Chains A and B, each alone.
Chain A
Amino acid sequence: MNIHEYQAKELFDKYGVATPAGRVANSVEQVVEIAKELGTDTVVVKAQIHAGGRGKGTFKSGFQGGVHLCDSPEKAGEIAGKMLGEVLVTHQSGEEGKQVNKVLVAASVDIDKEFYFAILMDRETERAVIVASSEGGVDIEDVAENTPEKLIRVPIHPTLGLQDYQARTIAKQIGFTSKQMRPAAKLFAAAYELFMATDCSMVEINPLVLTTDGEVIALDAKFGFDDNALFRHPEIAALRDTDEEDPREVAASKFDLNYIGLDGNIACMVNGAGLAMATMDIIKHFGGDPANFLDVGGGATEEQVREAFRILAGDPKVDAILVNIFGGIMQCDVIAQGIINAANEIEMNLPLIVRLEGTNVKEGRQLLEESGINLITASDLGDAAKKAVESVA
């Protein structure tokens, strides 16, 4: 799950990670008011959408840039007026772009030096790991590739947590001076507390800046949260903005279906994540292009199967549907009944290829045969994939 920049700032404020002064606004009047309150010579107005590359983006109205430095409250209001309600297209947003409903108004900062600081859940060490560098404001993958010696990694013990000396050492290692070390270490400790308290999978502060006044603040941040832990953080779950997500994925999540939209034209419905991935792979192997990843789970109900069908059949990009079920916990006759119900309810003229195996497979196959639905049966996974690819050729 992703969150907006202003939400990240609010989380930082709550846990004591220093950020530039500022607030979120959804009207021109509010923007002017906040800019006046801040009282700084210049303020930054930033469009709030999830996609990166906002600064270099273009609004569909023709207005350039989703991030602007403004030298008066009036100017801030004028700029915000050109952003709010308009659609911003960036290199990450897709051609359709995203509508800007909110802007963040923040005091501009005079930067002395930029750093990189992140905390990640690391599967290899099975710990939270702090990654920090003297090279801030740039792509950290490039730093890792070209100057790996400038990147430090410190695993944190899961029950002891981040110790003060570790925070001080990290600060010194990435180039803070003796005097700047403590404010930097304080920010690291606050970020770690936030990371653990809200079950993050990632908090990336890039850049972390030292201002000309000697303050250490988080200028921009990216968050990732552990979806499995959202049940114990309703306040984090509430930050989800479904307007920013693929509508097919939003629809699927309502029915607890594990769905990821892709660009191909062969839709697939599979039980189990590994088998679902493998089904995408075999479609590609035979020259086809999968339209999605969809795992209906181990114990899917008829309703879930029906809704899964609705999503697949309702996608204009889809030219054929491949159902691949290996019934373990899930019974093939339940799946078959779900398919029949869906096919009867939804008018579907797409080729439907079905491969069933496992528990109650005889009953399942019989139900499908007797239903009179127009479908192509397959004997095994390879056969199913070939037939699906042929059906769209």
Chain B
Amino acid sequence: MALIKAVGLGKTYGSTRAVNDLSFEVHPGSVTGFLGPNGSGKSTTMRLMLGLDRGDGATTYDGRTFAELDHPMRHVGALLEAKPFHPTRHARNHLRMLAAANRIADSRVDQVMEMVGLATVAKGKPKKFSLGMGQRLGIAAALLGDPDTLILDEPSNGLDPQGIQWLRSLLKHLAGEGRSVFVSSHLLQEMAVLADELVVIGRGKMLANGAVSDFISHSGLGTVEVRTPDGATLAPAIEALGATIVRDGDSLVVSGATAEQIGEAAHSVGARLHQLATRDATLEEAFLEATGLSEEFRGSTGDLA
């Protein structure tokens, strides 16, 4: 079981600091999601972790850098981009080639082809593969050495809903076996149910690092819905807590105060409560809040007419 420890990762392209002093850990037995807007430096960070890009800092896997690992695919499985294979080399041969460099038996090649659902096209040419099939082949390559660490860059790209569900189950299962899984994705809903911890970056800088639940709760975007016939009495007491209120019919939607605080306030002013319901922020809301000022590429709806 490998602890991934990234310390001071940095990368500069010309005058642009693409990754700036990133340090984090990925723990065995967990799925750590890697989030950030487009161009925030996620892929560059992953390449730095694997020694593919030259930059600052170091990443160790149980104390050893990637370059120091003997037969690295047996320790770290990586998927970095879609379709990284020769278009006419059979899928199985692509894996055999990687296996040969890591002393992995051909029987394992067949095993992972079966695992990712490509056994029937093992002798197919990747140039005829869909993006999803290409991703599956990339995932097969990452799993080839039965590694205790996985680094996957957007593995769900191109997968259909069944494929995404399969991938989620697979990664959960692998983490459940005690492996370290570090995965980037733009599918925030998917990440919300998959990840145990998060590393969130924007413009190459660390924005948040920790448990998913902490990231969401620290966003301050959770609300409490209060239904009361005594809104006029209760509202000032809630505002006295420093919370903000949005009126919605006979309900008050409160931000910045917990249900417990509101209940206490209602009791103190003698207001009747018909409903007191908390609503947590979604990962998407928390992510957008955290990265709002860190978007590298911002679009607009413009004048579509």
Does A associate with B in a complex?
no
Interface residues of A (CB under 8 A from B): none
Which residues in B have some Cβ–Cβ distance to A below 8 Å? none
